[in-house]
Amino acid sequence: MKILLLSATVFEIEPTVNKLRARAESESGNVLTFSNGVTIEVLFTGVGLTATAYALGHRFGGGQLPGLAIQAGVGGAIDRKIPLGQVVRISRETFGDLGAEEQDGRLLNLSDIGLHPGPPFDKSGVLRAPAGLASLPFPECAGLSVNQVSGTAETIARRRERFPEAQVESMEGAAFFYACLQSGIEPLQLRAISNYVEPRNRDNWRMGEAISSLNEALWRVVGAFL
């Protein structure tokens, strides 16, 4: 089994990577090999949709493709019913700022302006993970990916109106889904909630708790393969 484990930054999954390195039988570059033949390749893409798209396009364009790709990171909860520190599985993704803006401020996606992107998007412009991952023991949520995270009441209200189903905001998820689905690779995205999507206030963030929860959950997943 070949697994690709990726995150935008090192600090989000460093505890898990350190545990994997301690258990690996061998290590070559960023690829860890274990005694049962499983290999886990670690990739840090950088922050944002563009960096993620480039990193995965470069990786998937050369070399043997993984059977499973796992993206792990923190995110902001649009849905306040999700507790801070909770780890969720993103089962569907939408690009939150890809399209156009009307004169009245309404957001229009590509389908709204007659430029439907086609597969792997569905008719509503959503990217969906395969149903087989639904058995994992994490709450299932809808993701919204943006180049600029929401930081004002006006932006938050506009995005909530346009994407009422969105529950978790990130800066990489939709690019990850798109690259995997286009390449025939199963995408698993785990997000730990570090903050609520509200007018920007870093004092309210619970980053340490979120990273701890993320790595506990991530180890439950990758450890099962070892």
Distance separating alpha carbons of residues 201 and 186, to the nearest angstrom: 35
3-state class (DSSP) for residue 168: strand
Least confident of 102-111, 159-168, 186-195, 202-211: 102-111
What pLDDT, on the 0 to 100 scale, is given for residue 112? Answer: 83
Burial profile 101-140: b = 16 or more Cβ within 10 angstroms, e = fewer? eeeeeebebbeeeeeeeeebbeeebbbebeeebeeeebee
Which pLDDT tens digit goes with each residue over 5-40? 999 999 999 999 999 999 999 999 999 999 999 999
pLDDT above 90: residue 57? yes
Q: Can you tell me which residue has the tokens 């390749």?
A: 41
Q: What is the CATH number of the domain that holds 39?
A: 3.40.50.1580
Which pLDDT tens digit goes with each residue over 67-126? 999 999 999 999 999 999 999 999 999 999 888 888 887 888 888 888 888 899 898 889
How big is the CA angle at 157 (ends 155 and 159), to the nearest 5 degrees?
A: 70
Q: Which domain holds residue 156?
A: 2-223
What pLDDT, on the 0 to 100 scale, is given for residue 103? Answer: 85
Which pLDDT tens digit goes with each residue over 130-155? 887 666 889 999 999 999 888 889 88
For residue 140, what are the β-bridge partners? 89
For residue 188, what are the β-bridge partners? 70
Which residues, at least 6 apart from 49, have a Cβ–Cβ distance to it below 8 Å?
95, 145, 147, 171, 172, 174, 175
Give me the number of domains the chain comprises.
1
Of 45, 42, 44, 43, nearest to 54 by C-alpha is 45
What's this model's pTM, rounded to 2 decimal places? 0.92
Q: Can you tell me which residue has the tokens 């905001």?
A: 169
For residue 42, what are the β-bridge partners? 5
pLDDT above 70: residue 190? yes
Please tell me whether the peptide bond between 187 and the residue prior to it is cis, using omega within 30 degrees of 0.
no
Distance separating alpha carbons of residues 145 and 45, to the nearest angstrom: 15
Of 225, 223, 222, 220, nearest to 37 by C-alpha is 225
